[in-house]
Structure 1
Amino acid sequence: MAAKPMPENLPEPIINPNADVVLTRRYLNKDEAGNPNETIKELFWRVASTIAAEEAKYETSEYDTETLSRDFYDLMTGYWFLPNSPTLMNAGTRLGQLAACFVLPVEDSIEGIFDAVKHAAMIHKSGGGTGFSFSRLRPADAVVGSTGGVASGPLSFLRIFNCATEQIKQGGTRRGANMGILRVDHPDIMEFIKAKERDGELNNFNLSVALTEKFMQAVENNEEYNLVAPNTGTVTGTLNAREVFSILVRKAWESGDPGIVFLDRINRDNPTPEQGEMESTNPCGEQPLLPYEACNLGSINLGLCYKPDDNGGTVDYDRLKEVVHLSTRFLDNVIDASQYPLEQITEHVHKNRKIGLGVMGWADLLYRLGIPYDSQKAADLGETVMKFIRDEARSASKQLAKERGPFTAYEDSVFGKANLGPYRNATTTTIAPTGTLSIIAGCSSGVEPLFALSFVRNVMDGDRLMESNPYFADALKEAGAYSEKLMEEVAKGASIQTMEHLPEDIRRVFVTAMDIAPMWHLKMQAAFQKYTDNAVSKTVNLPNEATQEEIWDIYWKAYEYGCKGVTVYRDGCKQLQVLCTGDGEEKKESEGQNGNAPRGIVKDRPDVIYGFTQKVETGLGDLYLTVNEVNNRPFEVFATIGKSGRSITAKAEAIGRLVSLALRSGVDVRDIVAQLKGIGGDNPKFIKKKMVQSIPDAIAWVFENRYLKGETVGSGVTSLSREVCPDCGEVLIFEEGCHICKSCGFSKCG
C-alpha cells in the first residue's frame, strides 16, 4: 500500500549526525543511480502513513487513519519507538516486505534442502534474515536408501547455504545473515562445533548448538550421552557430556563460536505447541520460531522514559504505557501491511500474528537514574520494567483482539486452553538487537551497557569529531569535573574507573561494557528474560585475559538462570587464527608465549587508486613517501630513499610493504603510528622542530600529521586486534551477536 501525501504542517524530525549518515546510506529509497529520492522526513511519513492505513480494515477501531498516521510519525520521530529495519526500508514501497526474522525448515532430502536454499535467497532479497536447524539431516556417511549412496552430512549443506548467501544482499543494502543450529545429540555434532575454527569459514552464519536438559544433566553428572541418527532414530554412538561441554567452552573462548541455545526452555515457552516444536531461532538468537514463521520487531527507547523528582528521578510509567500500547498496535498493523515472500510464511504469520516489542536505551535510563548497571538494584529494575512492558503489551493485544478478533490459532494455544485471553498476538515481546536503530535514536543499544562514554568519529575530509554520552557530560559538568582533555582521554580508551580524581559516584554509575564483571551481564539478561515472551539478544563481554573456566561458569549460570541462550565475546578473540593439521589436531599460530597471533583479512587492491607523495629529510637522505588512499584513509605506502645504497633502499621498501599489509588488514593508523614512532637510527635529523630518528619514525610523523590532526600518539605497543568497518574505517564493536559500526551503521553477523 502506497504512502499518503505528506501534510504541510508536519514537523521536521531532529536528526543527529550519525543518524543522518545511517539513514541516508542505508534506509532512504534510492533511484536507479543509487541517489536518494526521498528525504528523511518523507521516509518517516512513508512508514507512518503506510502502517496506519491498515487501520481502515477494522471498522471497530478507535482510530482514524489520519490521526493514527500522525501519532505513528510522532512516535518514531520523537524516537520513542522504532520498528525493525525492513519496515523502515520497505513500508510503502513496491517490495513491501516488513519482517526481519524468519525460520525455514531443512528437510532430509535433496528436494527439501534446495527448497530451503531457494526460499532463503528470496527472504534475503526481501531484507530478512533466516534461521535453520540442520538437525533433521542424516549424518555424514549414512546410507541414502533411494540411491544406495552415502550422505555428506549437515556441514556440507551448511556450506552451500553460506555460499548462496554470499551472492545476495538483504534488500540490496546488506549481506544476508543466517543462524545455523544443530542438536547436541546429532552424530555430526563435533564437526559442527569446530566448523568455524578457520577464520572466514561460514562467514554468513552464526552457529549455535541446541542443548537439551538431558544433556545438561549428563554434564553435571559427568556421564555419557547418546548420539541419535535423526533419519532412523537409532543410537550411533556416545560421547562424554562434560568433555563436549568443555570443547564448546573452548571454542567460545577462542572465537565466540558457536553459541548455545537451551532447546527445552525455548519449547516450554512455545505458545502454540499443537503446531510443532521450535527447532531454530533467527540469526541473532532472540526470536525462536516455528518452521515458516516470521516475526516483525520494534523497540522502545527507555532512555526517554525518565521523570525527574526530588529523589533523583523515576521511570515514567504513564508515558511508557502509552508508548507500549501505540507500538503494539503499530506492530500488529505491520503484519497486515507486509508482503511475505512465500505463501507458507503468509499463512503461518497470519495464523499466529507474533510480534516482538523490545527496548533500547536501557543503559541511558540507568545513567539518568544514577543506578550502576552492575548492581542488584539495576537488575531488579530491569525485571520490573520488562514485566510492566509485557503486561501492557498483552493488555494492548487483548484490546486489539476485541476490535479485530484473536489470532487464528488462539483456541489451540496455551492461552486459549487456559482461558487467559483472547489475545491478538501469540507473542508480544522480544529483546532484539538495535545496533542501527539505536544510532538513529541516539541512544544505547538494547539492554547492553554503553561500550564507550566518549569516542572520536570520522567525518568528511578526514576530520574527526568528538562525541560523548550526554548524560556523562552533564554529570561531569554538574560536578565541576568536565574538561575537553578528560573527554579526549576517555575517547582514547581510558577507563574512568582508574581516574581517582573524579567523584566516586560518577565512577560508580558510569560503567561501560568492559568495566562490568561478566556475571552482571548475565544477570541483566536473565532479569529481562523473565518477562520476555521470546528471548533476549545480549552479549556477555569478556576481557582478553578471561579464562575458559569463566566461560564455563557463564554457560552454566545461563542454564540455571533460565536464559534461552547465551553469547559470549572475549575481546580480540575474532582475530586469533586457528589452524588444523591434516590429522585433525588443532594448532594455533603462536606469537611469544601466549599463542595469540592477531590477524585481519587483507583487502584487495582497487585497479585505480589515488594518493600523494611527501618528501621527508632524514639522516640517510631524502625519503619520498607515497601514500595511496581509499575513502580518505591510507591504504598502501611506498617508501623510496635515494643515494643511500642497496641495503637502506631494501629496508625502506620492506617497511613500506609491511605498513601496506597492516593497512589493508584493517590495522588502525594510531596503532601503526604507535608502533613506528620513536624508533631510533644512526643518523637522526631535525626538521620543522621535529627530530626524525629513522625511516619508520619518518613514516609515523607523516601519518600523525596528516591523519591524526594534532592528536598525540605515544610510542609503544598497542592492541592490533580491532576489526574496522569496511565502509568508513571506524572500529567495529561486538554486541547483541553482531559486529556493528557506531559511526555508519554497518553490521556483520556470522
Structure 2
Amino acid sequence: MDTTLSPGNSSVNVTAPQQLRVIKRNGDVAPFDASKIAVAMSKAFIAVEGDNAEASSRIRDFVTQASDAICEAFLRRMPDGGTLHIEDIQDQVELALMRAGEQKVARAYVLYREEHARARAAAGDDIQKPHPSLNVTLADGSLRPLDLGRIETLVYEACSDLPNTEPQKIVDDSVRNLYDGVSADGVSQALTMTARTLVEKDPSYTYVTARLLQDNIRREALSFLGVAEEATFSDMAELYAPAFKAYIEKGIEFEQLDAQLADFDLERLAEALDHTRDNAFTYLGLQTLYDRYFIHRDEVRYELPQVMFMRVAMGLSLNEDDREARAIEFYELLSSFDYMASTPTLFNSGTQRSQLSSCYLTTVPDNLDGIYSAIRDNAMLSKWAGGLGNDWTPVRALGSYIKGTNGKSQGVVPFLKVVNDTAVAVNQGGKRKGAVCAYLESWHLDVEEFLELRKNTGDDRRRTHDMNTANWVPDLFMKRVFDDQEWTLFSPATCPDLHDLYGAAFEKRYQEYEEMTRNGQLKLFKRVKAKDLWRKMLSMLFETGHPWITFKDPCNLRSPQQHAGVVHSSNLCTEITLNTSVDEIAVCNLGSVNLAQHMTDGELDNEKLKKTVRTAVRMLDNVIDINYYAVPQAKNSNFKHRPVGLGIMGFQDALYAHGIAYASDAAVEFADRSMELVSYHAIEASSDLAAERGQYQSYEGSLWSQGILPIDSIEKLKSERGEKYIEVDTSTTQDWDRIREKLAEQGMRNSNVMAIAPTATISNICGVSQSIEPTYQNLFVKSNLSGEFTVVNSYMVNDLKERGLWDEVMINDLKYYDGSVQPIDRVPDDLKAKYATAFEVEPKWLVEAASRRQKWIDQAQSLNLYIQGVSGKKLDVTYRMAWFRGLKTTYYLRALGATSVEKSTVDRGNLNAVGNGSEPAPKPEAAPAPTPSEPRGIEDFLSGKSGSGSRAPSAGEIDELGCEACQ
C-alpha cells in the first residue's frame, strides 16, 4: 500500500510490504509500516541539516528511493512473508545512509539509536519477554510452548561437521526474531533466514542453511505421509524407510507414480537410503529441489531428497533383470552427486507419464500441411517439457512461386511468429514457456530478415521475442568471409538439394547454382558480400543475443550417422547434432558426470570415472525404452538409432582442485585429457552394452562400424574443408586401438554417446559450477525461480584464509568489485589468475578448451562465450577462431552487463580500501547499452566505434534460460 509521510513540510511515498511483521524489543509483534523507515531517515536529515532538509527535493527523493529499496530487499528475502526484528530494520537504514555517502547523517542516526537504547535500559523497557513463555502455533491451530532445546538440537546438528560455524549465534539471533504465536514453519524459517545471512562470511553456512531448511521439508512430507509430525536429522536414520514406503503407496494412490514401483522389494530399497546424504546439499541446491522437483499434491510436497533419487533410480530400472540391484546402483550415483540426470528425467522418472528425454529436433517440410503438423508436434513435445530445435531451411523464401495458388510465398518469418506464440501458449500449466529454437541455413533468401527476428524495433508481426534462433552456417560461407568474396542467397524452392548436401558436395552444387544465376536459369536470388552478411550476423548477435552461430559441415562430416541421414540443425542448447527428416524427429537423452566429484588429491580419479561413466551410459540407454513419446516420429527415430548425450559439469571446480587457472595452457590440457577419458569410457560402455543387449538398428554403415572414432573423424573434416581453414590438436594418451578392436567385435548400442549440455539447474542441485563454464563471480547474489541466494566461491575463501586474507574488509571489497579479486591489491597475483571470473577470462581460452573437448565428442557442446568490452573486432576474431578450431556449435554470447551483487550489507565506503590504507582501485564499469535512438551502423559496430555496450543477454541473465530440458 502507499502511505504518505509528512515530517514537517516534506512528503514522500513508499510501498509497504503488508505481509511482513515486525518484532518489537519487548517481544510484541506489529505489522510492518514502511512509512516509519521514511520518518526515521527524514528525522536524521533534519537533525543534521535543520529545516533545510524539509525543503530539499534531493533529500525527499533519496528518502523515497532508499525506503523503497529497503522494503524491496526485505520482500526479496522473504517473498512469502515473515517477521523482522526492529533492530534488523534499523541496521538497514543505517547501512543505506552509509552506502549513499551520507556519513554525517548516518552518524547522527547511530547516535540517536544509542541514546534511545540507553534510555530504554535505564527505564527497564529493553527486556524482551522470556523465550520459554513463547508459544508455537501448530498446523491444527493449537499452541505449545517453544521448545528451545529442539532448536538447539537442529542448529548444532546442522553445524556439527562444518568448520568456522557458530551454532549458538544462530540460535540466539533466531530466537530474537520469534514472537508469541509463531507457526512451526515460522520457527524453521527464522533459523533458515538467520543462517542464510551468514553465507557471505563463510561458505559453510550455505550447508547449515540447507540443513535447517530440511526441518520444514521433513515436517511437510512426514506429516502428510502420516509417519511423524516432525523430525530432526538424526531421527531420519529411522524414519526414511517408513516414509519411503508410505510415499510409494500414496503416490500410486494419487495416480502420480507408476504402479510398477510397488512391485519392487521396497524393504531392500528402503535399507539402501542414506539419510546422511541430505547434508551434502547447498541452500541453493535444496531450495531448487523443493521448489521445482519434489512431487506434490494440493501444494504439499510429500517427497524427500533421498526418496526422490530412489524414485528416479527405480523408474530407470523398470526393465532391468535385477531391478533392485540396479535401482540401488543408480541411486548411489545420483545421491552422491557423482552423476546427475537431466531435469526431465528427474521430473518424470517413475511417474505415470515418464517423458524423460531432453531434446527434440525436427525438420519442417515445404508445404502448408507439413508446416502446421510440425507446429502441432512442437506443442505436443513442449507439453511434456521437451526442448525443441526446428530446421526451417526447406521452407521456400519470400517471393517464391506457389504452384497450387499461382501466388507468391510470404517466406519463413510469418510461420516463425506462429511458432513463437505456440511456445508461449503451451506453458505446462504456467510452469514455464515452451522453449524452441529455429535454425536457418545462411544461403536461404530469408536469412537477412531471419537475423532481425529478435529486434525490439520494426513490424512486431515479423518479430519473435520469445523464441530462440540460430544460424546454420556452411563451411563455404566461412571460406568466402575469410577470402572476402561474394555470397549468393537462394530460395530452397529452386535449390532444394542444398539442404541435404554438405562438405565438398555442397560446395560443388552451390557453385553450379551460382553459375545458373549468371546465365539466367535462376531468377530468384540475391548476391551479397560474404563479409557484409557476416557483419550483420555478429551485429545482431551483439544487439539481441541471437541468432546463435552454429556450423553445418563439422556437424555432418564428423557425424557417426552420416550414412543414415543429414544433421539439419542442433537443438535448443546447441549440443545435440542428430539427423532429422520428415519421418524422423531426433531425440536425445542427457545426463552429466560431475568432474569435481572425481578429483582425488588434486588429480582426476580414472577408476572412479570409469565406474561412473559405465553406470551413467546404462541409465541413459534405459531412458530410450522407458520413455514416453508424444509423437510417433520421435519414437521411431529413438528406437532406430538410440542416441544418448553424456556430458560433464563441475569443470571449473575440477580446475580449482587441480590448482589450475582457467586462462592457462594447463587448463586447456586438462580439458583435453579429462574429456578423452570420458570419451574412452563412454564409447567402451556403449560397446559393452551392445554385447549384452544388441547393436542399435542402423549401426551398419556408421563411422563406428568402420572403426572411425570421433578423434578419427577430424581427418575427414580437414580433407573436405581444406587444411588452410582448420587447425585442431589431435594428440591422444589412451589405447584407442583397443576400443576400435572392441567395436569391430561388439559394435555400439548407441549411435551417439556424448554431448555437453549447459546443466544450469542440475549443477545447482549438486553445488558445483555449471557444465564447462568459468566461475561467474566469486561473490554474488544469484536470482532464479526459487528466489535469491548468496553464492560465494568456497575455493577462493579457503585459499584466502590460508594466507590470512579473509576478513570483513575482503568481503566488502568483493561486494564493491562485483565478486572480482583483480582490483584488490592485497590479493596475490597467483590467486588473481586462479580466481579470474568469466568476463576476466579471454574468450580465446574458452574456445581453445572447447576445441580440445570437441575432438572427443560425437555430438557438440553448449559453449557460452563471455566477452568483456565487446567490440566488432573481438567478436569477429572469436567466432572465426571457433570455426577455425573445428567447433561444431556456439551458444549464448554473454556481454558484461550492469548487474552486481546486492550491496545491502556493505558496511561503508571506506572499508573498501585494501588493508595497506591505499585508495581502492577504480571500480570496473560496464558501458550502458546504446538506446534505440542511437545510430548503430554495421560498419561502426564492427570497427568498434559503437562502444563496448551490448544488447545481448547480460551477466545477470546467465541462468535464466527459457527451458530446463538440457539443464
Q: TM-score, normalised by structure 2?
A: 0.58
Contact 1:670 1:713 in 2 (8 A): no
Per-residue Cα deviation, 1:449-477 (whole angstroms, up to 9, x for no partner): 01011224689999x87542221111112
Q: 1:26 to 1:390 in 2, by over 3 A?
A: same
Decide which of 669, 681, 688 is 1:380's aligned counterpart.
669
1:348 Cα deviation (Å)?
A: 0.6
**SS of corresponding position for 2:806:** coil
Per-residue Cα deviation, 1:667-714 (whole angstroms, up to 9, x for no partner): 99969xxxxxxxxxxxxxxxxxxxxxxxxxxxxxxxxxxxx3675579
Decide which of 300, 303, 314 is 2:593's aligned counterpart.
300
- 1:405-444 matches, within 5 Å, as 405-418=694-707, 420=740, 421=743, 422-444=747-769
2:350 corresponding residue in structure 1: 92
**SS of corresponding position for 2:440:** strand
1:41 corresponding residue in structure 2: 306
Farther-moved stretch of structure 1 (320-329 vs 273-282) = 273-282
Contact 1:449 1:512 in 2 (8 A): yes
1:174 corresponding residue in structure 2: 432
Aligned residue-pair number: 596
1:524 Cα deviation (Å)?
A: 1.7
1:11 corresponding residue in structure 2: 274
**SS of corresponding position for 2:465:** coil
Farther-moved stretch of structure 1 (171-180 vs 526-535) = 171-180
Farther-moved stretch of structure 1 (260-269 vs 523-532) = 523-532
1:505 Cα deviation (Å)?
A: 2.0
Opposite residue 153 of structure 1, the aligned amino acid is G
Contact 1:285 1:537 in 2 (8 A): yes
- 1:213-228 matches, within 5 Å, as 213-228=475-490
For 1:477 and 1:710, how far apart are their aligned partners in 2? 20
Contact 1:19 1:442 in 2 (8 A): yes
Q: 1:52 to 1:171 in 2, by over 3 A?
A: farther
Q: 1:720 to 1:217 in 2, by over 3 A?
A: closer
- 1:372-521 matches, within 5 Å, as 372-418=661-707, 420=740, 421=743, 422-456=747-781, 466-492=790-816, 493-521=818-846
For 1:499 and 1:713, how far apart are their aligned partners in 2? 14
Identity %: 29
For 1:25 and 1:518, how far apart are their aligned partners in 2? 35
1:688 corresponding residue in structure 2: none
Contact 1:456 1:465 in 2 (8 A): yes
Decide which of 182, 207, 210 is 2:472's aligned counterpart.
210
Q: 1:25 to 1:293 in 2, by over 3 A?
A: same
1:29 Cα deviation (Å)?
A: 1.8
Q: 1:737 to 1:252 in 2, by over 3 A?
A: farther
- 1:721-740 matches, within 5 Å, as 739-740=958-959
Contact 1:738 1:748 in 2 (8 A): no
Per-residue Cα deviation, 1:540-572 (whole angstroms, up to 9, x for no partner): 1011x2201110001111111000122452525
1:503 Cα deviation (Å)?
A: 2.5
For 2:886 and 2:525, how far apart are their aligned partners in 1? 31
For 1:336 and 1:150, how far apart are their aligned partners in 2? 45
1:30 Cα deviation (Å)?
A: 2.4
For 2:783 and 2:534, how far apart are their aligned partners in 1? 43
For 1:277 and 1:171, how far apart are their aligned partners in 2? 35
For 1:171 and 1:736, how far apart are their aligned partners in 2? 29
- 1:119-130 matches, within 5 Å, as 119-130=377-388
1:321 Cα deviation (Å)?
A: 1.1
For 1:231 and 1:22, how far apart are their aligned partners in 2? 48
1:339 corresponding residue in structure 2: 628
Opposite residue 7 of structure 1, the aligned amino acid is A
Contact 2:895 2:954 in 1 (8 A): no
1:222 Cα deviation (Å)?
A: 1.5
1:66 corresponding residue in structure 2: 324
- 1:277-676 matches, within 5 Å, as 277-291=566-580, 292-308=585-601, 313-418=602-707, 420=740, 421=743, 422-456=747-781, 466-492=790-816, 493-543=818-868, 545-567=869-891, 569-571=893-895
For 1:498 and 1:410, how far apart are their aligned partners in 2? 56
- 1:671-750 matches, within 5 Å, as 708=904, 712=908, 739-740=958-959
Decide which of 277, 299, 318 is 1:53's aligned counterpart.
318
Q: 1:398 to 1:119 in 2, by over 3 A?
A: same
1:378 Cα deviation (Å)?
A: 0.6
**SS of corresponding position for 1:541:** strand
1:206 Cα deviation (Å)?
A: 1.8
For 2:648 and 2:596, how far apart are their aligned partners in 1? 9
1:41 Cα deviation (Å)?
A: 2.1
Farther-moved stretch of structure 1 (116-125 vs 22-31) = 22-31
**SS of corresponding position for 1:411:** coil
Q: Which has the larger radius of gyration?
A: 2
For 1:105 and 1:457, how far apart are their aligned partners in 2? 37
For 1:451 and 1:669, how far apart are their aligned partners in 2? 12
2:233 corresponding residue in structure 1: none
1:355 Cα deviation (Å)?
A: 0.5
For 2:432 and 2:958, how far apart are their aligned partners in 1? 13
What is the RMSD of the two structures over their aligned residues, measured on CA atoms? 3.0
Q: Per residue, is there more strand in 1 or in 2? A: 1
- 1:130-279 matches, within 5 Å, as 130-170=388-428, 173-198=431-456, 201-233=463-495, 234=522, 236-279=525-568
Contact 1:740 1:746 in 2 (8 A): no
**SS of corresponding position for 1:7:** helix
Contact 1:297 1:331 in 2 (8 A): yes
Decide which of 329, 332, 339 is 1:81's aligned counterpart.
339
Contact 1:468 1:487 in 2 (8 A): no
1:416 Cα deviation (Å)?
A: 2.0
For 2:420 and 2:783, how far apart are their aligned partners in 1? 33
Farther-moved stretch of structure 1 (350-359 vs 192-201) = 192-201
For 2:385 and 2:417, how far apart are their aligned partners in 1? 21
Q: 1:73 to 1:738 in 2, by over 3 A?
A: farther
1:250 Cα deviation (Å)?
A: 1.5
For 1:449 and 1:377, how far apart are their aligned partners in 2? 15
Opposite residue 342 of structure 2, the aligned amino acid is N
Per-residue Cα deviation, 1:149-184 (whole angstroms, up to 9, x for no partner): 221111111110000010112586322211111111
1:35 Cα deviation (Å)?
A: 3.0
Contact 1:284 1:737 in 2 (8 A): no
Opposite residue 532 of structure 1, the aligned amino acid is I
Contact 1:178 1:205 in 2 (8 A): yes
For 2:766 and 2:792, how far apart are their aligned partners in 1? 15
For 2:623 and 2:786, how far apart are their aligned partners in 1? 40
Contact 2:400 2:493 in 1 (8 A): no
Contact 2:679 2:856 in 1 (8 A): yes
For 1:76 and 1:412, how far apart are their aligned partners in 2? 36
Per-residue Cα deviation, 1:575-615 (whole angstroms, up to 9, x for no partner): xxxxxxxxxxxxxxxxxxxxxxx9xxxxxxxxxxxxxxxxx
For 2:466 and 2:629, how far apart are their aligned partners in 1? 22
1:289 Cα deviation (Å)?
A: 2.1
Q: TM-score, normalised by structure 1?
A: 0.75
Q: Per residue, is there more helix in 1 or in 2? A: 2
Q: What stretches of structure 2 of length at least 5 have no aligned partner?
A: 1-257, 496-521, 709-739, 913-922, 930-951
For 2:579 and 2:428, how far apart are their aligned partners in 1? 22
For 1:320 and 1:54, how far apart are their aligned partners in 2? 25
Opposite residue 513 of structure 1, the aligned amino acid is A
**SS of corresponding position for 1:158:** helix
